[in-house]
């Protein structure tokens, strides 16, 4: 298992699977999904590889895909020959009362502006950090912005159209290696 001194909290949608790559696949009549879900942009994956190789950071999945479980995420990583090592997923801190109060069946049904108000992703990341004091450098790669104020200096927001770019990869490397 990779050390947790450096950690990448990784979202998938809008970070690894991008709107432009998905549209290209569909336009060219190619499958946009495999047994795990939406395919990842090769360009975004290469940028993730650049980050991992330059920092040796461990990967913690913060994406909603983590609801499939750690083993499923590790299997996806292996089958898709992804860079780095998925060492964990963030805790699943979704309050059932929240769903019953707004009558939603899943996070997919929650409007973005509502989801962000609760800073769930940030709370889940903070819960992970509280459980792992050995993490001394981390970045959050996400296209959303539902993080806590104290996490802003670790946050790199991607554009869902392009995902992880060379500029974002360089910023992540600088943050993780500082």
| Domain segments of the chain as ranges | 6-176
Angle of the 166-176 helix axis to the 42-55 helix axis, nearest 10: 20
Confidence of residue 109 (pLDDT cuts 50, 70, 90): very low
How many CA atoms does the CB half-sphere of 32 hold within 13 Å? 14
State how far the Cα of 57 lies from the Cα of 27, in Å rounded to an integer.
Answer: 35
Higher per-residue pLDDT: 99 or 2: 2
Measured distance CA(98)–CA(105) in Å, rounded: 11
| Banded model confidence at residue 120, pLDDT cuts 50, 70, 90 | confident
Residue 50 is predicted with a pLDDT of 98
What is the residue-averaged pLDDT of the chain?
A: 86
How many of the other CB atoms lie within 10 Å of CB of 152? 11
- The contacts of residue 104 (CB under 8 Å, 6+ apart) are 110
Is residue 121's pLDDT more than 90?
no
Beta bridge partners of 139: 8
- How far apart CA 136 and CA 132 sit, in angstroms, is 9
Section 90-100 average pLDDT:
57
Whether residue 6 contacts residue 176, with contact meaning beta carbons closer than 8 Å, is answered with yes
Is residue 106 predicted with pLDDT exceeding 90? no
Say what the pLDDT of residue 92 is.
Answer: 82
Share of the chain above pLDDT 70, in %: 83
Please indicate whether residue 101 or residue 3 has the higher confidence score (pLDDT).
3
CATH 1.10.260 corresponds to the domain 6-176: no
Higher model confidence: residue 109 or residue 166? 166
2 pLDDT band, cuts 50/70/90, is low
- What pLDDT score was predicted for residue 113? 43
Residue-wise pLDDT for 19-72, tens only, equals: 999 999 999 999 999 999 999 999 999 999 999 999 999 999 999 999 899 999
């Amino acid at each position: 298992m990779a050390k947790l001194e450096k950690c990448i909290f990784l979202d998938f949608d809008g970070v690894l699977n991008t709107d432009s790559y998905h549209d290209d696949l569909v336009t060219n009549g190619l499958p946009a999904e495999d047994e795990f879900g939406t395919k990842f942009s090769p360009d975004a994956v290469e940028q993730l590889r650049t980050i991992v190789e330059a920092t040796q950071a461990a990967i913690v999945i913060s994406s909603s895909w983590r609801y499939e479980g750690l083993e499923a995420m590790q299997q996806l990583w292996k089958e898709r020959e992804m860079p780095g090592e998925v060492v964990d997923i963030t805790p699943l801190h979704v309050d059932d009362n929240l769903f019953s109060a707004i009558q939603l069946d899943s996070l997919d049904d929650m409007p973005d502006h509502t989801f962000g108000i609760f800073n769930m992703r940030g709370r889940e990341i903070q819960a992970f950090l509280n459980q792992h004091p050995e993490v001394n450098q981390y970045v959050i790669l996400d296209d959303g912005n539902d993080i806590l104020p104290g996490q802003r200096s670790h946050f790199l927001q991607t554009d869902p159209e392009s995902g992880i770019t060379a500029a974002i990869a360089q910023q992540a490397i600088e943050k993780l290696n500082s």
